[in-house]
Amino acid sequence: MSNSEPMLAADGTPLKRSLARALRREKMRALMLIAPLLLFILLTFILPVADMLYRSVDNKIVSEILPRTVVALQDWDADSGELPDEAVFAAMAADLQQAAQEKTHTKVGVRLNYEQPGISSLFRKSGRKAKKWNVEEGGPWKEQLIEVHKGWGDPEVWRTIQTYSPRVTQGYYLNAVDMQVGTNGAEMRPENEQIYGILFWRTMKMSLIITLSCIALGYPVAWLLANLPARHANLLMILVLLPFWTSLLVRTSAWKIMLQQQGVINDVLVWIGFVADDSRLVMINNQFGTIVAMTHILLPFMILPMYSVMQTIPPSYLRAAKSLGATNWTAFWRVYFPQSIPGIGAGSILVFILAIGYYITPALVGGTTGTFISNRIAFHISSSLNWGLAAALGAILLAVVLILYWAYDKIVGIDNVKLG
Amino acid sequence: MADSGNSDAFVAFERVQKSYDGETLVVKDLNLSMPKGEFLTMLGPSGSGKTTCLMMLAGFETATHGDILLDGVSINNIPPHKRGIGMVFQNYALFPHMTIAENLSFPLEVRKMGKSEREEKVKRALDMVEMGAFGGRRPAQLSGGQQQRVALARALVFEPELVLMDEPLGALDKQLREKMQFEITHLAHELGITTVYVTHDQTEALTMSDRVAVFNDGRIQQLAPPDLLYEKPENSFVAQFIGENNTLEGVVTEMKGDTCVVRLDDGEELDATPINVTSVGERTRVSIRPERVEVDKNRLQEGAHTLKAEVLEFIYMGDIFRTRLRVAGNDEFIIKTRNAPDQVRLEPGAQIEIGWLPEDCRALDAS
């Protein structure tokens, strides 16, 4: 039979189609089995993530609440330094009245306040008055609005409204990287207002330090786990897993007790005369405290993958190396260590990605210098309610993690990561 | 039974004991000495202490008591990497992250050998096992037999005088195993290296070794060249363990110097060669090899003892016939006859007479 002709099944249909039909039932059944999980993940993970990603650019609130103003402002040149003409003010008055009736004027005020502080009160005050206006016959609106609040006489307010009138915006992202839209397009914020770059950099740096500490502390433990006789190894494994059975808050609080200035470690150091009583070490509410506590909390995530990889390395390799004349160190470094790298890789990815998004521990023991970007995101979600900015920060964090993952794949190769 | 250490032995175990838990001895009072160039096999069932002995020699286990001497020097306190002993492991233990050439180069690198010298030795070692073309591959890309050759080359590349092999052919299929047995013995004799080989496969032990040490229960049961081991086992463990063997149990009734008379449990009496029975009245186990039993009356040699037997089963095995008989109450009495044109094929149910020479019938301990 020649290779060019498709293989036929007994009934004359192409073999490929016949096979696909035969496998379809099995595929459907497999799909049915994972359907609950798939649905669960879709509803609780993929959709929220997609929603947050959308929120980071979503800006339809301005054009929905101020539809007439947005249209009227289209032809205004913000760089002219002059106020918009009467038609724009009239459109704003109409929009404000409608918004006030629907009680949405404060929302748009809050939104624009992110970009230019003060706009929130402008809208709140104007909205109260707007209910009584006669939009059809009143006017002129320019003078009337400026009379209600002098903010309407500031071209910058109108520029902000115009800048943020499109339905999507890059404003949140600019904000998230310490930039703003100025007169000449995007520009860096003043030095003293920059915060997110510092936080991102600190998050990266501290996550890296935590990952390295976990490798240094976890490697010997994993080695012991893989090489001790089963009875002792089980006991050690319980000790490794013990933190998992303890509440995260309890563990973090324990570190507070250990590390604070009147805490156990300082007391001991003072008692043995290592530090003076009046110069106790500051080990908590700073970066040091965060690194210590998070290393402790994330250590099992490093040990377990390393352990499962080391378990697959037969002891005969080390013996072989020694029988070939290698010292203990050479045998370890040239033969054992290279084979344990996949475990280090897996543990490092796990710990680094967990650390980069960690939130509770830095919030509790981080003070002001040890907080992570995730704490800032939490602040915007729950306190400042600037969800768009929180979403932009989260999206950047997600992108950074994906880029690092990609880089890891390029440099080390993701196939080299083994969990057992 | 094992010979005691002497001064010109290359490898010697002197009263070596080993215990892992402080309660039981895995190796009990081991004495063994090997001259240079010998191929010695440690053979025994699992748990008999043979691998422990090998590991003590390699330095991965320490002897609880006694001395291990290499070239006259006690190596008890020398770490494994300074012993200069080549070793082939059961699963080869080729380093998976290195190429074949790097694997072979490793022992030379740790000996701080120059690059050109290294390359030359690696090439020579690979050629020796006919793997010259595979230097750039990784172990996972080789077949079991090829890995085996590389492991052998790696153990030999730094020119050790002593090579240890821990069941190196265990993972290979039968044909390849037989081929490798042949190659390993040739190589060992060609290079004049002393070899200690551990296996639980008696065929391997018999075909490869100059001498075989049969281990059981932490002791050497017999240390002898293969032919002596097979034909003149010194106790019933060795007789049972090496080759196929028929046993008949009975009591010694008379000692006559070179021979003795044994009354079997069914009352039948026969002549046997006493090996480790010494007195009348002692229980004994008489051992006869299946191929030493004659079924053709006309071919019975003079002085042969005959017994009645009933044929239970006839198995055609190609080159030989294997027949199961009932002899003196033993249903598992096996005889082997060569598939020759004039050979009779025994029918199950037939009553026949079998016979053997008293020299082939050895009265051993009953344990």
Can you tell me the distance from the alpha carbon of A72 to that of A42, in angstroms, rounded to the nearest whole number? Answer: 41
Tell me which of B55, B95, B163, B166 to substitute to probe the interface with A (most A C-beta atoms closer than 10 Å).
Answer: B95
> What pLDDT is attached to residue B2?
42
Extract the tokens encoding A196: 């997110």
The total number of residues shown for chain A amounts to 420
Residue B152 reports pLDDT greater than 80: yes
pLDDT of residue A355: 93
CB atoms A324 and B107 under 8 Å: yes
Q: Determine the pLDDT at residue A33.
A: 94
- Residues from chain A that touch B164, judged by Cβ atoms under 8 A, are 323
Nearest CA of chain B to the CA of A321: how many Å? 8
Beta carbons of A408 and A349 less than 8 angstroms apart? yes
For the segment B252-301, what is each residue's pLDDT rounded down to a tens digit?
998 888 888 898 888 888 888 888 888 888 899 999 999 888 888 787 77
Q: What is the mean pLDDT of residues B349-356?
A: 89
Residue B104 confidence (pLDDT) above 90? yes
**pTM score, whole prediction:** 0.78
* Confidence (pLDDT) at A181: 74
pLDDT digit string (tens) for B1-37?
444 445 578 999 999 999 988 888 999 989 999 999 9
Instruction: Give the pLDDT confidence score for residue B1 in this predicted structure.
Output: 40
> How many other C-beta atoms can be found within 10 angstroms of the C-beta atom of residue A330?
17
* Residue A166: cis peptide before it, omega within 30 degrees of 0: no
Q: What is the pLDDT of residue A4?
A: 60
Test B97 with A326 for CB contact under 8 angstroms.
no
Helix axes A86-102, A141-148, angle to 10 degrees: 50
User: Can you give the pLDDT of all 420 residues of chain A as single tens digits?
Assistant: 445 667 777 777 788 888 888 889 889 999 999 999 999 999 999 999 999 899 898 888 888 888 888 888 888 887 777 888 888 888 888 888 888 888 888 888 888 888 888 888 888 888 888 777 777 776 687 888 888 888 888 888 888 888 888 888 888 888 888 888 776 777 888 888 888 989 999 999 999 999 999 999 999 999 999 998 888 999 999 988 888 888 888 988 889 888 888 888 899 999 998 888 888 888 888 899 999 999 999 999 999 999 999 998 998 999 999 999 999 999 999 999 999 988 998 899 889 989 998 888 898 888 888 889 999 999 999 988 888 899 999 999 999 889 988 888 887 777 766 655
Residue B239 has pLDDT above 50, yes or no: yes
- Measured between its terminal Cα atoms, the distance across chain A in Å is 45
User: Which tokens sit at B358?
Assistant: 């008293």
Instruction: Report the run of H or E that residue A298 belongs to, with start and end.
Output: helix A287-310
Amino acid occupying residue A381: I
The alpha carbon of residue B95 is apart from the nearest alpha carbon of chain A, in Å, by 7
3-state secondary structure at position A246:
coil
SS3 A51: helix
* Cα separation, A225 vs A305, whole angstroms: 12
CA distance to A280, B296, B308, per residue, from B337 (Å): 94, 10, 17
Residue B113 contacts A, CB cutoff 8 Å: no
Comparing CB atoms, the residue among A320, A334, A335 nearest residue B89 is A320
Q: Is B97 within 8 Å of chain A by CB?
A: yes
What's the sign of the alpha-carbon dihedral A110, A116, A119, A120? positive
Contact B366, B283 (CB under 8 A): yes
pLDDT at position A113, please? 87
In the prediction, which pLDDT does B3 show? 45
* Sheet of B320-327, strand order: B330-338, B320-327, B305-316, B351-356
How far apart CA A100 and CA A93 sit, in angstroms, is 10
Query: A with B: how many residue pairs have Cβ under 8 Å apart?
Result: 65
pLDDT reported for residue B312: 93
> Is the distance from CB of B270 to CB of B251 less than 8 angstroms?
no
CB contact (8 A) between residue B80 and residue A322: yes
Shortest Cα distance, chain A CAs vs residue B186, angstroms:
22
Domains of chain B by range and CATH? 11-236 (3.40.50.300), 244-365 (2.40.50.100)
Question: What residues are paired with B12 via a beta bridge?
Answer: B33, B69
With an 8 Å Cβ cutoff, are A319 and B87 in contact?
yes
Report yes or no: A222 and A260 within 8 Å, Cβ to Cβ.
no
Residues 6+ apart with CB under 8 A from B204: B41, B169, B177, B181, B197
**Which residues, in sequence order, are CB contacts of A338 under 8 Å at separation 6+?**
B97
Q: Determine the pLDDT at residue A5.
A: 67
Question: In Å, how far are A230, A232, A420 from A239, measured between CA atoms?
Answer: 14, 11, 20
C-alpha–C-alpha distance, residues A194 and A177, integer Å: 8
Q: Which two tokens stand for residue B3?
A: 């010979």
Supply the CATH classification number for the domain A196-416: 1.10.3720.10
Longest dimension (CA), chain A: 101
Residues of B in contact with A418 (CB under 8 A): none
Contact B90 A322 (CB under 8 A): no
CA distances from A356 to A174, A291, A331, A402, B59 (A): 21, 12, 35, 12, 47
Q: Are B295 and B335 in contact (CB under 8 A)?
A: yes
In this predicted structure, what is the pLDDT of residue A81?
76
Residues of B in contact with A316 (CB under 8 A): 89-91, 93
Over its C-alpha atoms, chain B yields an Rg (Å, rounded) of: 24
Instruction: Read off the tokens for A253.
Output: 């609080």
For B260, phi and psi rounded to 5 degrees? -145, 165
- Residue-range domain boundaries for chain A: 1-55, 60-169, 196-416
